[in-house]
Structure 1
Amino acid sequence: MSSQRDDHPTGESTVDSRKRAPAALRRAAAATAASAVVATSGFLGGGVAAAADPVVIGTCTEDVTSTEYGQPIVVSPRALDSRVKDAAGLTFPLDFERIDRIHQQFLRTAPINIGEVTTEEQHFSGSALADALANRIAGLPAVEDRGDTMNFHVGNLAVTCLGGVNVPGQAKPEPTEPSTTPEKPSTTPPAESPDPGSSGDEQRNPDTPGSGSGGDPTTEPTDDQPRRQAGGPDSNYSPGSAEQVAPSEYAYVPGSLPPWSDSRFGETAGGQPATGDLRTGDGHNQQDRVREAGSAQALPTGSGERVALPVLLAAVSLAGVTAALIRTWVLRRA
């Protein structure tokens, strides 16, 4: 009996250990899956944070700010929060439970993208925001088939959003231009390739007597004769490359220049300059003017010293009038 009692607990412990093994495996698998989910969410969160934050319109009466060009603009359901609730009250009067459900479902919807930041300021009125959220309002489960009525009331109530929302513009970044600086060519001269017909000994020491075709060792190679003529004392020109030789002066050789080289600008080749002719003409014109002034003649005068008859009559009349005035004045004084 004692042996049977001892065996029974041993069997129960074995069964319990077998039951606990799958549970431990399941817990380990669950922990691994949770770690993977956390790591994935961390990567996704980092990617979202790296992207540009959108401009969120959370009200229909206050302006918002932007930070950069091309920033997305989204409208939040809270921009028309009270208007949607009032529209639900007009669509479903006295159904307070439905009104509350419509309000809560609308607030849980995601924001809607309505554009992006440009270089100019953008204005969004209350009606424009209502049109942007119309599909979300009509698609709420609690609205059912009354979506058109809801949007009608929301559009009318959105008119009360006085002033609307203004989104300021931002400067557009200039594109980076590629560098247009040309690369400097290499100034290192290319290595000269050896003559394929010559041997290695000839290239290393071309002046060694006896190399080549086996000629007289006392005879110098023929390749040195041009060098001796170019740089030796018997040469007729100085050693150096052809680029260093100064060009000959042909300006003093008769017939070396074309006939029009001595002509001035605007003159015919071989013709005489017109400067002397102009000066001579001016001199002739001056002499003609002096000659004309010297040969001037006075115009003939009239009869000479006689006084004209009208002048004489005027003088006599003036004297008579003056005498009469003096006489009258004297008589009045007397």
Structure 2
Amino acid sequence: MLVRKIPTWQTTRRALTVTAVAAFVTGGAFLSAGPASAATTLAGTCSGAVNGSMGDTVAVQGTSVKELVRKGAQDQVNALTFATVWPNSLADTIAGKGALNVGTVPNSAGGTIAGDAIGTVVANALKGAAGLGLLPDTQTKVLNSIKSRVAQGCGLTTVATNYAPPSTPGAGGTGTQPGGGTGTVPGGTSGNLSNLNPGTTGGTGGSAPMRDYSGIPTATAGTAVAPGVRYPANGTLPGDASAPQAGQGDQSGQGADIRDAGNAQSLASNGASNDVQLPMLLAVIVLAGVTAGLVRTWVLRRAS
């Protein structure tokens, strides 16, 4: 049996050709693949809480908003649009859309996806669908009604399952203290504290300078005023219940239980019990005049 001999240079050329083609195909596939996309977290309903990793896309099934779409379209059915607006058809259309991306899980412990955002996604998914109406104005009204219904009935709270809170400050490191000195800086950071940014962690931030309380006024020994000087012994403290209060009671010194009983005030002043008052003097004068008249009449009758 004869075996055909192939020259070495031909074998080498074929090997290089195959290698170049393989490298070209592999590189093209790598470039077309692009960066890896984030995972998609599917919510069971369009309301409530949904758990996912930070950066994940949050989606809702079209079936979860089916009834809301039906009600929103039904609100626009009237005598002029009953033949062109089909609520049941629109509900089936959104149910057939499958998963609808409505937002993402933020890079924090949690966040929210408002119902208005979900309503906008649903309305955009139904644009151009059959059953929205014949006229453009009718289609706009139907989509706005559906968006409003979905916004009222939906709303998600996102919870990041892989969120880790910032680490607590460590034992401390060497850095520049306020005033230019060098010492231990809380949190283990080193360097000038003026370069630290709020909210950062690690060796570039997360700490703040120690607070300076030297400007707060404090009491100094020997300068305080004694209570006896501020409030004399023969005086009364503000708000003392035993001291007479303006507008409460009269001048008789009555107790609080009597002063509060009414607003009656005495007409005569508080004088001595043996003083003759003006009413008594007038009564005596009138009585003397009446007596003199009676005596005069009696004398004249006896004389006649």
Note whether the superposition's TM-score is higher than 0.5. no
Q: Greater strand share, 1 or 2?
A: 2
Classify the TM-score, shorter chain: 0.3 to 0.5
Larger radius of gyration: 1
Q: Greater helix share, 1 or 2?
A: 1
